[in-house]
C-alpha cells in the first residue's frame, strides 16, 4: 500500500542524504520526494511516498526515527489528510488542438501559464491521481515535457506536525 | 578562558570527555592535530601500522572496557582504510569516535590530494557523523559525538575536520559544554511497565520456556541482572555469539551458544520452546537460519531491545519491550516477585528432563585425532585450562572463531572480543592490542587462523613499539578453513582458492623478525607444555603456530533453509 510520510528534520547539510541513503541501503523504494525549509529556519520538512506492507512501513518509520537529524515524523496516510502535487506540463497546441487542450485544462482546473504559437505550458495542482488522469486525458502524442514536484501533504483538522 | 587552536581544542575536548588513549596514524590533513597532541600529555596516542588496525584496536578497547574507543586518521586513504573497522563496530553496536582529517574547506569538492568524502562514504556504517565547519564548533561537536556514540544503541560516530579548522595560528576561546541538548535524539531507558507485565505473565505460564540473549546484555551492562532473573526463574538460557559471557558458561542452566554453530541442546530447546524471552539480541540470520517462518514455531516471543527498529525486523515479537536491558530486567524481577502467578515447576521439570536428554548427545565431544595430530578444539580447550578461563580472548573470523566460542567457556562479560556481525577477518590481533592497552596486567589472547592473521600482521611492529605481551594462538590448518568446510559440504569438495599451504610464511620466524617470540606446535603431546611455556612469558608477545588437523569441520552446523532443530552433527550424522 502507498504511504505518505512527512518528516521534520534538522536543516543541516547531510540530513537529506541520510534519509535518502537509508532507503537505498535497506532496499526501500521512494516513489516521490519533496523537501524545503519550514517557517522555522532550523527545520526542513521532507515528504516522501513509498509503498509496502504494514511490517515494511513500520520498519521504514522506525529507521527514519533512528536518524539523528530526524526530529519528528508522521505517516499521513494513517489518518485523514490532504495531499497535493504541482505539475508544470508542456503540451503541443496547434490549430484546433489549442481549444481542445484549453478545455481539458479548464475541466481539471489547471491554468495555462505560458504559451507560444505551438506550445502551452500548463500548471496543475492536485493529488497524484488527478495529475496522472490529466496526462492520460491529453494523450501521449501531445505531451512534450512534464515537471512534477512530488507529493506534499498535511493532516486534516487540528493535528499538526510541529515541535 | 583559554585561547586554543582547533587542534588544541580537539585534544582538550577529548581529555575533558575522559579519553585516555587514542589509536591513530598521521598524515597531511591531521598534522595540526598531531602537533597539538605533541604539546600535551593528557591523552596518549598509539601509533598503529594501518588505519584499519587503529579502528579494531579502539574497538577491542571499547568492548573490553565499555568506554568508547577513539580513532584519529588522516583524510583520503586514511579515512577509507578506517571504513572496515567502522563497519565492524557499527554491526556490533560498539561505541567509537573516529576523527578524520579532511582537506581544507576551500578545497573540498575539487578532488584535492587525499580528498575523499568521508561523511558520505561512512554514512551507511555510522550512527551519526559530523563535518566541522569552524574551529569554534569543535568542543560542542565532540560532546555531541560522545553522547550519541555511547547512549541508546551504541555505535560509531565520525567527526570529519577540514585542515583549516585546526590551524594553529587561529586561536579561539575554549569552553567545554557541560551538557547539550539534541532535540531529535531521545534515549529510551525504562521499558513500558504494562508490556513488562505481559511478558512476566507469559514467562510464568510457560511450560517450555527459553531465554535467548545477545550482545545487548553486554553493551547494556545487564549481566548481573540477567543472572539474577535466570536463576530466579530456573529457566534454560542460551547466548548468541555476541552475547557469550553475559551468563556464566559454567552454570548448569546455560545450554551453550545457539545458532549456526550452536549446541544441539540450545538449538533444540529454541525450536521446541513455548515462550521465548529474547533480550538484547536481534534474530540475526546466523541464529534463526534463513527461513524465519520455521523459527520457533510454537513460541510466544517476548523481545527486549533498546532499538525499536530491531523489534519485529526479521521475527515478529508478540510482546515488544523497548528499553535498556538492565532496568527492564530489574523491573521484570520486581514484577515476578509481586505476581500472583508462579513458575510451573512441574512443567519445568519435564522440560529440563527433555533438555538433559538432548545434552546427553554431547554434541561438542571431540573425535580423537589420528596419531599425533592436533585437533583445533583441543588447542582451544588447552588455552582455556592454562588461562583458567580468565583471559580476554579476541578472535578473527572462521573456524577458529567458532571453536573459540564453543570451547572457551566465558564466565564473565566483555572477555570475548569478536566481530560477530560484520565477520571481519583481521579483527582479532589489533583488537587484542586494544584490550592489552586497556588492561596491561591482564592476559590478552588472540585465537586466530593463519588466513585471518595475515590480514593485519603488520601490527607486530606496534606490539614491539609498545611492548604488548599478547599471546597469539594461531590454529594453522593451512587453508581458509570455513570456506573450505563449505566447499566440502556444498561444492563437492572443490577447494576453489581456499588453500595456499605452499606459500605460507614461517610464522615463528616472522614473529622473531619483529623481535617477538615464535613457538611452533606440531604434535599433540607438545600442546600443553609448549602452550604453558608461551603463557609463562608474561612480558613477551608470543606467536604460537599450532598446526591442526586440516580436515576438521565445525559442528554442529545448521542446515540451510531448515529450522533450528535441523543440524549436521558430524561428517556422518544429521538430526
* B478 in catalytic set: no
* Residues B199-211, mean pLDDT to the nearest whole number: 98
Please answer yes or no on whether A17 and B131 come within 8 Å at the CB atom.
no
Percent of chain B exceeding pLDDT 70 equals 100
Q: Read off the pLDDT of residues B456-480 as tens digits, 9 standing for 90 and up.
A: 999 999 999 999 999 999 999 999 9
Q: Which chain A residues are within 8 Å of B184, Cβ to Cβ?
A: 9-10, 68-72
Percent of chain A exceeding pLDDT 70 equals 100
* Residues B9-31, mean pLDDT to the nearest whole number: 98
Q: Point out the catalytic residue in the list B127, B143, B144, B163.
A: B163
Q: Which three cell numbers stand for residue A48?
A: 516522501
Residues in chain A: 163
| Residue ranges of B 183-202 with Cβ closer than 8 A to chain A | 183-185
* B270 in catalytic set: no
Q: Read off the pLDDT of residues B315-357 as tens digits, 9 standing for 90 and up.
A: 999 999 999 999 999 999 999 999 999 999 999 999 999 999 9
Q: How many CB atoms lie within 10 A of CB B317?
A: 21
Looking at the predicted structure, is the pLDDT value of residue B290 above 80?
no
Looking at the predicted structure, is the pLDDT value of residue B180 above 90?
no
Beta bridge partners of B417: B394
Q: How far apart are CA A15 and CA B105, in angstroms?
A: 19
* Residues A145-163, mean pLDDT to the nearest whole number: 95
Residue B505 φ then ψ, to 5°:
-75, 165
Chain B residue nearest residue A62, CA to CA: B309
Residue B18 in contact with partner chain A when CB distance is under 8 A: no
Q: Where are the domains of chain A?
A: 2-79, 83-152
pLDDT at A140: 80
Q: How far apart are CA B409 and CA B254, in angstroms?
A: 11
Looking at the predicted structure, is the pLDDT value of residue A163 above 90?
no
Q: Which chain A residues are within 8 Å of B316, Cβ to Cβ?
A: 55
pLDDT band at A51 (very low <50, low <70, confident <90, very high): very high
Same fold, A2-79 and A83-152: yes
Q: Point out the catalytic residue in the list B9, B270, B482, B557.
A: B482
Please answer yes or no on whether A9 and B120 come within 8 Å at the CB atom.
no
Q: How far apart are CA B427 and CA B84, in angstroms?
A: 10
Q: Which of A40, A60, A62, A72 to mutate to test the interface with B (most CBs of B within 10 A)?
A: A62
pLDDT at B113: 97
Residues in chain B: 575
pLDDT at B179: 85
Q: Read off the pLDDT of residues A88-130 as tens digits, 9 standing for 90 and up.
A: 999 999 999 999 999 999 999 999 999 999 999 999 999 999 9
Q: Which chain A residues are within 8 Å of B128, Cβ to Cβ?
A: 68
Q: How far apart are CA A135 and CA B427, in angstroms?
A: 57
Q: What is the mean pLDDT of chain B?
A: 97
Please answer yes or no on whether B313 and A59 come within 8 Å at the CB atom.
yes
Residue B366 φ then ψ, to 5°:
-100, 125
Query: B174 to each of A52, B42, B59, B525, how far by Cα in Å?
Result: 49, 17, 29, 63
| Residue ranges of B 437-476 with Cβ closer than 8 A to chain A | none
Least confident of A139-148, B236-245, B400-409: A139-148
Looking at the predicted structure, is the pLDDT value of residue B423 above 80?
yes
Query: B85 to each of A133, B159, B446, how far by Cα in Å?
Result: 51, 15, 17
pLDDT at B532: 98
Q: Which three cell numbers stand for residue B408?
A: 572457551
Alpha helix stretches (DSSP H) within chain A: 15-25, 54-66, 96-107, 128-138
Of A17, A70, A72, the CB nearest to B123: A17
pLDDT band at B39 (very low <50, low <70, confident <90, very high): very high
pLDDT at A74: 97
Please answer yes or no on whether A71 and B183 come within 8 Å at the CB atom.
yes
Q: How far is B163 from chain A (nearest CA, A)?
A: 19
Q: Point out the catalytic residue in the list B40, B42, B44, B113.
A: B113
* B482 in catalytic set: yes
Percent of chain A exceeding pLDDT 90 equals 95
* B427 in catalytic set: no
Looking at the predicted structure, is the pLDDT value of residue B569 above 90?
yes
Residue B316 in contact with partner chain A when CB distance is under 8 A: yes
Please answer yes or no on whether A68 and B185 come within 8 Å at the CB atom.
yes
pLDDT at A146: 97
pLDDT band at A19 (very low <50, low <70, confident <90, very high): very high
Number of Cβ pairs < 8 A linking chain A and chain B = 39
Residue B127 in contact with partner chain A when CB distance is under 8 A: yes
- β-sheet with B542-547: strand ranges across: B416-417, B392-395, B444-449, B471-476, B542-547, B517-521
* B113 in catalytic set: yes
- Identify the CATH homologous superfamily for domain A2-79: ACT domain (3.30.70.260)
Residue B386 in contact with partner chain A when CB distance is under 8 A: no
pLDDT at B94: 98
pLDDT band at B1 (very low <50, low <70, confident <90, very high): confident
Looking at the predicted structure, is the pLDDT value of residue A155 above 90?
yes
* Residues B279-305, mean pLDDT to the nearest whole number: 94
ipTM over 0.90: yes
pLDDT at B188: 81
Looking at the predicted structure, is the pLDDT value of residue A141 above 90?
no
pLDDT band at B424 (very low <50, low <70, confident <90, very high): very high
Q: Where are the beta strands (DSSP E) in B465-549?
A: 471-476, 517-521, 542-547
Residue B71 φ then ψ, to 5°:
-130, 140
pLDDT at B86: 98
Q: Which architecture, in CATH terms, is A83-152?
A: 2-Layer Sandwich (3.30)
Of B124, B185, B312, the CB nearest to A58: B312
pTM score of the predicted model: 0.96
Q: Read off the pLDDT of residues B135-178 as tens digits, 9 standing for 90 and up.
A: 999 999 999 999 999 999 999 999 999 999 999 999 999 999 99
Q: Which chain B residues are within 8 Å of A21, Cβ to Cβ?
A: 123-124
pLDDT at A90: 97
Of B123, B131, B183, the CB nearest to A21: B123
Q: Which residues of A touch B (CB under 8 A)?
A: 9-10, 13-14, 17-18, 21, 25, 55, 58-59, 62-63, 65-66, 68-72, 163
Amino acid at each position: 500500500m502507498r504511504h505518505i510520510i512527512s518528516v521534520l528534520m534538522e536543516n543541516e547539510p547531510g540530513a537529506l542524504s541520510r534519509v535518502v541513503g537509508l532507503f537505498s541501503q535497506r532496499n526501500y523504494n521512494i516513489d516521490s520526494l519533496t523537501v524545503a525549509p519550514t517557517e522555522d529556519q532550523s527545520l526542513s520538512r521532507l515528504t516522501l511516498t513509498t509503498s509496502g506492507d504494514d511490517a515494511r512501513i513500520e520498519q521504514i518509520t522506525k529507521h527514519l526515527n533512528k536518524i539523528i537529524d530526524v526530529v519528528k515524523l508522521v505517516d499521513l496516510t494513517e489518518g485523514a489528510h490532504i495531499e497535493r502535487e504541482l505539475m508544470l506540463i508542456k503540451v503541443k497546441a496547434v490549430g484546433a488542438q489549442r481549444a481542445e487542450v484549453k478545455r481539458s485544462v479548464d475541466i481539471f482546473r489547471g491554468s495555462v501559464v505560458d504559451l507560444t504559437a505551438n506550445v502551452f505550458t500548463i500548471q496543475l495542482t492536485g493529488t497524484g491521481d488527478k495529475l496522472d488522469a490529466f496526462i492520460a486525458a491529453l494523450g501521449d502524442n501531445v505531451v512534450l515535457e512534464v515537471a512534477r514536484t512530488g507529493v506534499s501533504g498535511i493532516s486534516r483538522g487540528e493535528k499538526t506536525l510541529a515541535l | 578562558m583559554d585561547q586554543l587552536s582547533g587542534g588544541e581544542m580537539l585534544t582538550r575536548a577529548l581529555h575533558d570527555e575522559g579519553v585516555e588513549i587514542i589509536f591513530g596514524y598521521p598524515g597531511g590533513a591531521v598534522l595540526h592535530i598531531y602537533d597539538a597532541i605533541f604539546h600535551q600529555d593528557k591523552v596518549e596516542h598509539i601509533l598503529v601500522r594501518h588505519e584499519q588496525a587503529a579502528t579494531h584496536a579502539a574497538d577491542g578497547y571499547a568492548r573490553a572496557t565499555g568506554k568508547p574507543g577513539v580513532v584519529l586518521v588522516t583524510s583520503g586513504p586514511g579515512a577509507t582504510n578506517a571504513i572496515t573497522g567502522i563497519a565492524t563496530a557499527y554491526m556490533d553496536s560498539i561505541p567509537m569516535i573516529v576523527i578524520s582529517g579532511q582537506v581544507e574547506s576551500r578545497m573540498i569538492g575539487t578532488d584535492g590530494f587525499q580528498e575523499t568524502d568521508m561523511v558520505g562514504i561512512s554514512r551507511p556504517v555510522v550512527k551519526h557523523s559530523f563535518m566541522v565547519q569552524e574551529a569554534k564548533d569543535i568542543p560542542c561537536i565532540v560532546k555531541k559525538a560522545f553522547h550519541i556514540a555511547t547512549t541508546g544503541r551504541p555505535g560509531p560516530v565520525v567527526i570529519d575536520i577540514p585542515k583549516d579548522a585546526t590551524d594553529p595560528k587561529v586561536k579561539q576561546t575554549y569552553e567545554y559544554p557541560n551538557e547539550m541538548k539534541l532535540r531529535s535524539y531521545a534515549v529510551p531507558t525504562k521499558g513500558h511497565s504494562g508490556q513488562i507485565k505481559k511478558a512476566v505473565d507469559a514467562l510464568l505460564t510457560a511450560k517450555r520456556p527459553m531465554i535467548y540473549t545477545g550482545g545487548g546484555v553486554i553493551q547494556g551492562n545487564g549481566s548481573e541482572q540477567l543472572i539474577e532473573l535466570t536463576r530466579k526463574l530456573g529457566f534454560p538460557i542460551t547466548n548468541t555469539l555476541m552475547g557469550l559471557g553475559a551468563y556464566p558458561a559454567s552454570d548448569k542452566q546455560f545450554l551453550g551458544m545457539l545458532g549456526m554453530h550452536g549446541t544441539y541442546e540450545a538449538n533444540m530447546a529454541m525450536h521446541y520452546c513455548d515462550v521465548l524471552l529474547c533480550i538484547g539480541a536481534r534474530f540475526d540470520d546466523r541464529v534463526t537460519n534463513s527461513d524465519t517462518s520455521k523459527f520457533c514455531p510454537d513460541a510466544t516471543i517476548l523481545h527486549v531491545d533498546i532499538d525499536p527498529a530491531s523489534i519485529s525486523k526479521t521475527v515478529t515479537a508478540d510482546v515488544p519491550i523497548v528499553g535498556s536491558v538492565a532496568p527492564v530486567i530489574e523491573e521484570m524481577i520486581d514484577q515476578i516477585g509481586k505476581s500472583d502467578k508462579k513458575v510451573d515447576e512441574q512443567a519445568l521439570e519435564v522440560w529440563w528432563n527433555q533438555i538433559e536428554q538432548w545434552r546427553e548427545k554431547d554434541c561438542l565431544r571431540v573425535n580423537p585425532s589420528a596419531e599425533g595430530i592436533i585437533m583445533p578444539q583441543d588447542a582451544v580447550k588447552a588455552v582455556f585450562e592454562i588461562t583458567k578461563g580468565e583471559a580476554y580472548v579476541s578472535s578473527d573470523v572462521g573456524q577458529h572463531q567458532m571453536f573459540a566460542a564453543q570451547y572457551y567457556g566465558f564466565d564473565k562479560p566483555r572477555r570475548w572480543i569478536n566481530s560477530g556481525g560484520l565477520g571481519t577477518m583481521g579483527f582479532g590481533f589489533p583488537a587484542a592490542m586494544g584490550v592489552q592497552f586497556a588492561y596491561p596486567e591482564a592476559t590478552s589472547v588472540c585465537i586466530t587462523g593463519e588466513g585471518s592473521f595475515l590480514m593485519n600482521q603488520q601490527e607486530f611492529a606496534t606490539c614491539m613499539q609498545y611492548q604488548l605481551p599478547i599471546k597469539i594462538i594461531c590454529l594453522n590448518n593451512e587453508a581458509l578453513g570455513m570456506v573450505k568446510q563449505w566447499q566440502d559440504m556444498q561444492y563437492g569438495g572443490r577447494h576453489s582458492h581456499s588453500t595456499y599451504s605452499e606459500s605460507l610464511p614461517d610464522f615463528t620466524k616472522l614473529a622473531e623478525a619483529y623481535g617477538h617470540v615464535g613457538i611452533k606446535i606440531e604434535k599433540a603431546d607438545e600442546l600443553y607444555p609448549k602452550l604453558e611455556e608461551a603463557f609463562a612469558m608474561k612480558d613477551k608477545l608470543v606467536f604460537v603456530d599450532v598446526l591442526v588437523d586440516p580436515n576438521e569441520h565445525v559442528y554442529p552446523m545448521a542446515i540451510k533453509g531448515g529450522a533450528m532443530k535441523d543440524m549436521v552433527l558430524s561428517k556422518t550424522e544429521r538430526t
